[in-house]
Chain A
Amino acid sequence: MTNLAILLLVAGAVVATALATLRMVQGPRHADRIVALDIFLAAAIALCIGASLATGRTVFLDVAIGLALVGFVATVGWARLVDKGGRT
């Protein structure tokens, strides 16, 4: 039961990453690519929690804490660049 749930969690994160990669490649604008970056962050945190559940170790949760803390910086930086009208 638990193993199936973890498997589905990892599969869901992989599918979400694939779909976000499609949007990242297609664009067409920079704002669309930043949205794909947000999905990457969510999938990475979900994969960290999945790894932690699968192995029973909390170290992967610490990785997820770090990701949750700094993951939005890339989004904010890129969004500010687009907002300021920089040459992107």
Chain B
Amino acid sequence: MTVLAAVLVVAGALLLVLAAWGVVVLPDALSRQHAATKAGTLALALVCFGAMLLAQDGGWTWRLALILGFLLATLPVASHLLARAAVREAGHESDLANAPVVGRDPHGR
């Protein structure tokens, strides 16, 4: 069990490095946002599950589950607004500016 927990924690650490590497290497803000939010969330989920298995204690388990729940609830919201901002900031230089998925904000510009 300890081996499985250690493997999960190390896999999470590697995935976190991979997410940061993607943020450095990928070409534009929209693709960087995909690397950061998706891989980052999965990395933290792996670390949380690994820590649960390492500790095997009720107090640890509900705290880690709470961390994971808050992350899964809040990170998609941040990711969505970030993607909107990235597309909007690219502006007329990008084909994405007229993409139907973005739409026009009636209260915006």
Contact = CB atoms under 8 A, between A and B. Distances in A.
Interface in A8-45: 8-9, 11-13, 15-20, 22-23, 29-32, 34-36, 38-39, 42-43, 45
Interface residues of A, number: 52
17 contacts: A9-B47, A15-B17, A16-B19, A16-B20, A29-B86, A29-B90, A38-B75, A39-B36, A42-B40, A43-B20, A45-B67, A49-B64, A53-B9, A72-B78, A78-B85, A83-B108, A85-B108
The 9 tightest CB contacts between A and B, nearest first, are: A12-B13, A16-B20, A31-B29, A19-B20, A5-B6, A31-B86, A68-B70, A82-B85, A42-B40
Contact of B13 (A9, A45, A64, A65): A9
Contacts of A31: 29-30, 33, 82, 85-86, 89-90
B13 A1 contact: no
Interface centre among A16, A36, A69 (most CB of B within 10 A): A16
Contacts of B63: 58, 61-62, 64-65
B70 A69 contact: yes
Nearest to A80: B81
Interface centre among B5, B30, B71 (most CB of A within 10 A): B71
Interface centre among B37, B75, B81 (most CB of A within 10 A): B81
A85 B63 CA distance: 39
Interface in B5-21: 5-6, 9-10, 12-14, 16-17, 19-21
Nearest to B15: A12
